[in-house]
Structure 1
Amino acid sequence: MSGIFIAALLVYFFISFKSMEHAIEVYSTLDESKLPVLYVETNGYIINPMHAYIQDMGNKAVRDMITILPEDRQLKLNIWEYDHTAISAKYEIRSLNLEQLIEKGDIKSIDKDGNNTSIIVPIQNLIKKDQQYLLKVILDTGEKTLNYYTRILWTDKDHTKELEDIAIGFTLCTFDKNEAKNLSTYLESNNIADNNTLAHIDLHNSFNQITWSDTDMKLSGQYYVTLKEYDGLMSEIQIQYESEMEDEGEKTVFDNEDNYVLRYDPSRIYIMDFDRKTHEVYNKKSDSAKNKKLILGIGNDEDISVVTSENKDYIAFKSNKDLWIYEQGKNPKATEIFTLRTNDSLRQNYDKHDIKILSMEENGNVNFLLYGYINRGQHEGKTGIVYYTYDYAKETVIENFIIPLAESYEVIKNNVNRLAYLTKDKRLYMYYKGNIFGIDTNSFEVFMVESGLNDIEFASSESQRYVAYQDPKEEDIYHSRKITHIDLENNIKIDILKNDSYIRVLGFNQDDLIYGEIDEGNAESFTYDSDIPVSAIHITDAETNEKTEYKKEGLYFTNIFVDGIRIKFDEIENSVNGNYRFVKSETIISNKNTNEESEVLGTTNSGKYGKVKYIEINDIGAKEVKYQTAKNYSIERASNIELNISEASEKNHVFYAYSLGHYRGKERTLRDAYRKVHDDYGYVINEDGDIIWNRADKSAIVKINKASDKITEISQLLANANVKEAIQKIDEYTVLNATGMDMISALYYLNKGYPLIAYKNDEINYITAYDQRNITLTDINGNSQTVMGRDDAEKLFESNRNRFIAILP
């Protein structure tokens, strides 16, 4: 064992911060938004609002939106200037991976017509049709240089007007039940959908629920449309807007986000998926506290967090990106500590930020992080992480420091969710880009705990007090003989060591570490799922004392997934041909209690609102809750911390999953990435930003032309390929291991012009055609063909563990 803090003093980042020797408290205000917003006016709609970035974001904002160019490529962008006047502008066009600069130049004129300002980006004929690029517009306002980003696509297959008409029309119709009758043709209502909540709605809900039940909900203000994806046939469209309703004279406001997955067909447009998330803005209703419940309103669990002080006197809660503290006792009081809401609905609906509560102290002080894109105040236009403290006695929000990070909000969110832990002596530990680092929040000294980690080599406990990681110096994730376990609160580090086997971090069940053990003799033996199995699963307590070992003679465990109190995995065994054979799927379930938050956060029914969220509080009887906001905003300590860290290079290929307009995470195999987004008609991209699977982008009927010739071509490729590799590049082709993907999803690859390799009893076959009822299966020589019903084919390939290899040209 050794103390982290002492060991970590050996390594420091460069840190810059302002002097804190102030004799007088320095107060400020969180100014309203001031930076210009660019947008595209097309097809009669205002779409793709582009917000200003102070930092150079590279390609980190590349998936925010896509803009379709006019035929002459002269892209007109309108500018809402706000408090900054555009003086000059220029642009750059690069490949999505930034490796190629296609063109750059000045934007000759900035046209002003009354209150309207616009520019035209004069894109030359250096770009190719039907290929996506990254456009960066640099706006100079004299006071600031601002960066704006969008992908662009030049195509002859521009059906975006028809697609936008459907999406916008659908959203608007939901507020009028008579108009909405036309929507019935798109609905897939069933008995499984929850028709007692407005928090989350999709096509499986009832007509009444999709049209806001009996609430008489109204659209409030402007809606904002973003074209998230488009490839000529498939489109993702996101619409953000406010709505409101009145109940007994009190107005309630809601934030809403509608996401559509649409597919164009000359005969009609298909809504493949529709998903609406609604969250009530907590607004001090007169009846919000009663019957031992503080009613937060309509909302989703992922938008709410609750932390209670140890003495139970104070409850800090985040509801829909707004932070509050509720004080129990004789005179109950609720104080809004922090919000980025503005009077401008365009900025207010730009919600690429969030808040994490770090601690709720017994004296009423709250420590918290704001992270993502900051849309107002002195850091407007920056992305990063800001550490704040609410001083209860002074009723003051204190900005401690900002860590600027040129990274997308959702990647920052993913890292914050992995680790952001504040100890009682005020050391803040975080994880970012494969680095575990700490900050002494008293002195602002920054220290490194570990670097060079891949995400899969690291895990944190539910409380984030405990972390564990493999030896980052090893060649890959399967050959570590050491796992380091750290109690961050007490600065205690313990190394778990093996001399005759390898070990892998699998995750945590609350504060219990779960790790796998790999036999030395199997450390090079991959399964068809691109995984090396473990021979034992170990569960240890917070001091790394072993609690459970799961092991079976002759069996190995693969595809291990830790999901809260459950450990899911497949059991396999060696087969006669030297490969592994599937035995069965298994689950280990812990009997541990749930976390503290789930004990105080609940759901109740509230008349026409349906299900609403509440926090359990002490009985206040006939008393009313006093509502207020924080009185002061202090920047006396406000400092800037620059992290000079580099991102750890991936030891294995990774796949990035997206759905419904959002990043869902990265995975080591295509199977795991596709499973994250399959139900939401999502897509998966590779490390270069190319889409390599898209559920919505699949024709109803496909037949491969010159199938025999292509089978011969593929056979030559396979001779040079390792079919157990997750992804590999051979000549101009990409070979993908699609094992574990269901057959219907894998048929996507026939749309790319090549047969799908399908294994039947370890023999290679090729799927060369499909329609709504059948598939055509061709033998390895390309001679014999068998037509099978799709249901029978699905069962056949499921019995063979869905072993598929796909080819992308």
Structure 2
Amino acid sequence: MKKILIRIVVLVLVFAAAVFGTSKILGKKMADTSEVMAQATFPLVYVDLNGKQINCMHGYAQEMDVIAMRDTLTPLSNDKTVNIQIQPFENQISSVSYEVLSADGSKSLENTLVTTLGNQDDYVTAELKVNNKILINTEYIMKIKVTAGVRDIYYYTRIINQANLNTENYLNFATGFYERCLNGNDEDGMISQTIEPNEDADNTTLAHMDIHSSGAQLMWGKLTPQAYLKPIPSIKELNENTATLEMDYVITATGDTEDMEMYHVTEYYRMRYAESQVMLLDFERDTNEIFDPENSILVTNGIRLGINSRDLTYKSDTDKKYFAFAQQGSLWLYETGTKKLTQVFSFLQNGKLDARDIYDENNIRIINIDSSGNMTFLLCGYMNRGKHEGECGVAVYTYDAATTSITERLYVETQEAFSLLDKDVENLGYMSADRTHFYLTLEGSFYDINITDNSVTEQFSNLSSGCYVGSSTGGKFAWLQENEKYDSSTLNLRDLETGNDTAFTCDSDERLQPIGFIDSDLVYGVAKGSDIDTEDKGSEVFPMYKVLIVNSAGETLKTYEPDGCYVIGGSVNDKLLTLDRVKKTKRGYTETSQDHIVNSSADDEAAYGFAYAESDKKQTETILKTGETIEEGTTPQILYAKQVKAEGEEVAEVSIPAQKQTEELYYVYAKGHLDSMYTTISEAVQRADDQLGVVVNNKQQLIWERGNKQTTCKLDISTFPDVILSGKMNIKKLSKNLGKQVLDLTGCTLDSVLYYVSEGTPVLAKTADGVVIIAGYDQYNTILLKPGEAETYYYGLEESADMFEAAGNQFITYFDPLEE
């Protein structure tokens, strides 16, 4: 018996030792530290304009490149003062200072410490007075530094010193319009008298509404919402004639399933003040439902995503078992069969939302997902909370489905604002399969970031717009070897996994141009050199007689040769290639119908993708179809991923400083945000004219704006430079003699070029009989001057427009750029 007891004790001790040893080994191998994303901590800063709270500013953890910080515009008071309110949350505000900079950030005009801070309700207040001289009707940047505890946090707004801006009238109109719509009450006729409903408006969806929607639709139909977060108006553009405002807010409403639902709403107003009243020139409203897995989100054919104005995207594995989608700052993963729904990541705070949650200057991009549900994704832009709070950059994450956890693999810090950064990352942001390298295009440079040793290699720099394309999902990058958009004959394709390059060439009388990628397959076009028209800068035509789809092995998968027309460009949306085409006529190239190519690998099955369902209160809802039949009333198993950090592993962090722009670019801002970028002023003006926007250059100098011109204008021809009076439309000669930047506005309309006349600059214009100088205009006529003559003459506006159009709308003018 004694021997048996001894054996039992020994066995127990051996087992305990084995368990302890195994746990130690597994502990070393698997020890992960779970991290909970910290709640948002940064204060918010508001402008107090005569008791009205406007221009909510979000804080940055570091000083940003001010050229990219073109968000709100704050008008100075008569004594050149900006009053601010700081919402501290849990912070102790110890000091506030401010700096006034030129629009491009190159000159500091004032740097002042606020000596007295006040308190009003739950806010810390400060008065920021501009003491030094600044120009009238000129935009500057105000950088506000708030010290919260031991942290310096930076806030940015543009400022302008100008009279007769009618700011409060615009603010009162926008807030009044919002309140009447929310309350469903238009007894005074404000809404009905200012909107322009027509038959083309879509009154079947609450996702997107505009000035042409019906009054009932703008008042939310049957939804009857309630305010959750009230809007704080943000002034985007402001001049003597017009104003552009944006308002963000959150509403709640009971949907058709009787669930309480929450929506993020963005409204855009463009207004004019005339004859003592505000006129609504344009209005748009976008509504996006905040996804709540606790609601009735499973329907018979998939997942109910609700009301959405954005172009949603999803990714699935090849077996269609896992479906990932991003919505309103959160990333979700759904597993068919098990009905598991996992919140992989979310910027939304736990508990009550505030303005920091709906600041959507960021984007979630799903790079790939495998057959086990593992995923790689990027966070791009402003980081609302967490350890990178207040920074602007790119965070690379992987998700492990087996452990329901995410791991940050790399963080790339930049000084580039989201509007520009997102366009770069959209072009290329790819992590290698072995997770050792991350490839990124940023400000015309191609970077290879080694995650294992935190090194950054700039593989290519100063790449010109239109000379390179990337594939974030396919791991490919293509660039023109000559870096000339209209004059390159070698197109290189790099496989980012293998590092192998494949070169595509053409005949000596041909030129190449990349169009984009369909997954990992490159799309490019070939044009005859004799067909390419680059005579008019900004109106260049690269007519491709042939478009090819090729793989990285150099094999041609498809050749497209249109009959009787040419391709001048294209865009890829998922697996659909849309080609823009033109026909050649005696008057040049004219637009014709588009054509479409669907990749052979496209999923044509109707069982997957997005569909739309009608409902009584919500009108039209988005459904993500998952290829299965779900029993009515099924609820998903909801999981929340944890963030882990493997023991002994440090997250790779690199910083890429702002690059000096070597390529002249023109930025179009419309509807409150960066719309597009162009290398020519004429393309930018045409786009801004179409989108009711403005154009600025690399230095954020205002170059053109829609609607801000005098009703009549007559210039003094005695002040015109001799080279203008000579009527020579030679850009090189004009640049040399004027000592100013010459603008080739070929392709723009007469109405758009009259903006420059209104600003005091004559415009050279081509006609069938020669060149004329536009020296003024009134409501009915242009005022023209023939070179060599001393007297101007009047010519009808419509007749002038026809005359200039017949000659190709060729216009040239000039302006004074900011000094270096």
Query: TM-score, normalized by length of structure 1?
Result: 0.87
Structure 2 Cα separation of the partners of residues 680 and 535 of structure 1 = 28
**Residue from 626, 634, 637 that aligns with 1:624:** 634
SS of equivalent residue, structure 2 residue 598:
coil
CA contact (8 A) 2:374 2:398 kept: yes
**Which is worse superposed, 590-599 or 68-77?**
590-599
Structure 2 Cα separation of the partners of residues 613 and 21 of structure 1 = 46
Structure 1 Cα separation of the partners of residues 769 and 657 of structure 2 = 46
The residue number in structure 1 matching 2:502 is 494
1:242 offset after TM fit, Å? 0.3
1:715 offset after TM fit, Å? 2.6
1:109 offset after TM fit, Å? 2.2
CA contact (8 A) 2:414 2:658 kept: no
The residue number in structure 1 matching 2:19 is none
The residue number in structure 1 matching 2:270 is 261
For the pair 1:319 / 2:327, whether they are aligned, the reply is yes
Structure 2 Cα separation of the partners of residues 277 and 619 of structure 1 = 31
For the pair 1:752 / 2:779, whether they are aligned, the reply is no
SS of equivalent residue, structure 2 residue 466:
helix
Give CA deviations for 1:513-543 in whole Å, capped at 9, x if unaligned: 2134464x89996335453756754424224
Structure 1: which amino acid aligns with 2:442? Answer: Y
1:281 offset after TM fit, Å? 0.9
1:146-161 equivalent positions in 2, closer than 5 A: 146-161=153-168
Structure 1 Cα separation of the partners of residues 692 and 204 of structure 2 = 24
1:774 offset after TM fit, Å? 4.8
Give CA deviations for 1:158-198 in whole Å, capped at 9, x if unaligned: 42111111112112211123236312222111111211111
**Residue from 784, 801, 804 that aligns with 1:797:** 804
For the pair 1:273 / 2:273, whether they are aligned, the reply is no
CA contact (8 A) 1:30 1:378 kept: yes
For the pair 1:452 / 2:465, whether they are aligned, the reply is no
The residue number in structure 1 matching 2:23 is none
SS of equivalent residue, structure 2 residue 377:
strand
Structure 1 Cα separation of the partners of residues 562 and 637 of structure 2 = 57
**Residue from 406, 415, 424 that aligns with 2:424:** 415
Give CA deviations for 1:397-456 in whole Å, capped at 9, x if unaligned: 222221111111111111111112345444543221222234466776655543331232
Task: Summarize the Cα distance change of 1:423–1:675 in structure 2 as closer, same or farther, 3 Å threshold.
Answer: farther
Can you give the 5+ residue segments of structure 2 that lack an aligned partner in the other structure? 1-26
Structure 2 Cα separation of the partners of residues 323 and 782 of structure 1 = 68
Structure 1 Cα separation of the partners of residues 410 and 65 of structure 2 = 24
CA contact (8 A) 2:74 2:158 kept: yes
**Residue from 40, 44, 47 that aligns with 2:47:** 40
Task: Summarize the Cα distance change of 1:455–1:754 in structure 2 as closer, same or farther, 3 Å threshold.
Answer: closer
Structure 2: which amino acid aligns with 1:619? Answer: T
Give CA deviations for 1:56-97 in whole Å, capped at 9, x if unaligned: 103144311111112222322221112221222322211111
- Higher RCO (CA-CA < 8 Å; seq separation 6+): 1
For the pair 1:246 / 2:293, whether they are aligned, the reply is no
CA contact (8 A) 1:103 1:126 kept: no
1:278 offset after TM fit, Å? 0.7
The residue number in structure 1 matching 2:21 is none
Structure 1: which amino acid aligns with 2:268? Answer: N
CA contact (8 A) 1:708 1:782 kept: no
Structure 2 Cα separation of the partners of residues 670 and 388 of structure 1 = 39
SS of equivalent residue, structure 1 residue 415:
helix
SS of equivalent residue, structure 1 residue 484:
strand
Task: Summarize the Cα distance change of 1:293–1:626 in structure 2 as closer, same or farther, 3 Å threshold.
Answer: closer
Task: Summarize the Cα distance change of 1:525–1:225 in structure 2 as closer, same or farther, 3 Å threshold.
Answer: closer
CA contact (8 A) 2:727 2:771 kept: no
**Residue from 53, 56, 80 that aligns with 1:49:** 56
Structure 2: which amino acid aligns with 1:185? Answer: Q
CA contact (8 A) 1:54 1:146 kept: yes
CA contact (8 A) 2:715 2:776 kept: no
Task: Summarize the Cα distance change of 1:710–1:445 in structure 2 as closer, same or farther, 3 Å threshold.
Answer: closer
Can you give the 5+ residue segments of structure 1 that lack an aligned partner in the other structure? 1-19, 576-580
Task: Summarize the Cα distance change of 1:98–1:626 in structure 2 as closer, same or farther, 3 Å threshold.
Answer: same
Task: Summarize the Cα distance change of 1:184–1:718 in structure 2 as closer, same or farther, 3 Å threshold.
Answer: farther
**Residue from 660, 680, 686 that aligns with 1:669:** 680
Give CA deviations for 1:590-625 in whole Å, capped at 9, x if unaligned: 432495599512223222312221111211224613
**Residue from 128, 131, 144 that aligns with 2:151:** 144
The residue number in structure 1 matching 2:651 is 639
RMSD: 3.3
The residue number in structure 2 matching 1:78 is 85
Query: TM-score, normalized by length of structure 2?
Result: 0.86
Structure 2 Cα separation of the partners of residues 804 and 645 of structure 1 = 38
For the pair 1:433 / 2:443, whether they are aligned, the reply is yes
CA contact (8 A) 1:752 1:808 kept: no
The residue number in structure 2 matching 1:16 is none
Task: Summarize the Cα distance change of 1:113–1:273 in structure 2 as closer, same or farther, 3 Å threshold.
Answer: closer
1:233 offset after TM fit, Å? 2.8
Task: Summarize the Cα distance change of 1:376–1:678 in structure 2 as closer, same or farther, 3 Å threshold.
Answer: same
Task: Summarize the Cα distance change of 1:52–1:744 in structure 2 as closer, same or farther, 3 Å threshold.
Answer: same
The residue number in structure 2 matching 1:386 is 395
SS of equivalent residue, structure 1 residue 108:
coil
Structure 2: which amino acid aligns with 1:665? Answer: S
Structure 1: which amino acid aligns with 2:139? Answer: Q
CA contact (8 A) 2:543 2:568 kept: no
Structure 2: which amino acid aligns with 1:192? Answer: D
**Residue from 411, 433, 449 that aligns with 1:402:** 411
Question: Rg larger in 1 or in 2?
Answer: 2
Aligned residues: 771
CA contact (8 A) 2:291 2:327 kept: yes
SS of equivalent residue, structure 2 residue 70:
coil
The residue number in structure 2 matching 1:612 is 621
1:751 offset after TM fit, Å? 1.9
Task: Summarize the Cα distance change of 1:477–1:591 in structure 2 as closer, same or farther, 3 Å threshold.
Answer: closer
Structure 2: which amino acid aligns with 1:36? Answer: P
Task: Summarize the Cα distance change of 1:311–1:523 in structure 2 as closer, same or farther, 3 Å threshold.
Answer: closer
Identity %: 23
The residue number in structure 2 matching 1:163 is 170
The residue number in structure 2 matching 1:13 is none
